[in-house]
Amino acid sequence: MKEGIPERKDESSQGRAPEVELAIVGGAFVAETGKEDQLAYALARYVVLARMEEGCRNIDLVTSVTVPGMFMVWEKWESPSHRQRHFENRTASDLADAVRDLVREPPQFDIFDAISAHDLM
Q: List the CATH number of the domain containing 105.
A: 3.30.70.100
Which H or E element spans position 61?
Answer: strand 56-63
Rounded-to-10 torsion of CA 73, 77, 3, 17: 130
Whether 119 is covered by a domain: the verdict is no
Using one digit for the tens of pLDDT, what is the confidence trace for 2-42? 343 334 444 444 555 555 678 999 999 999 999 999 999 99
Q: Higher pLDDT residue, 48 or 17?
A: 48
Question: Do 73 and 47 touch, CB atoms closer than 8 A?
Answer: yes
The per-residue pLDDT for 3 is 41
How far is Cα of residue 24 from the mean position of the Cα atoms in its chain?
Answer: 6
Q: How many domains does the chain have?
A: 1
**How high is the mean pLDDT of the chain?**
86
Whether 52 is covered by a domain: the verdict is yes
Q: Does the pLDDT at position 116 exceed 80?
A: no
Whether 121 is covered by a domain: the verdict is no
Whether 1 is covered by a domain: the verdict is no
Whether 16 is covered by a domain: the verdict is no
Residue 76 belongs to domain spanning: 22-112
Whether 117 is covered by a domain: the verdict is no
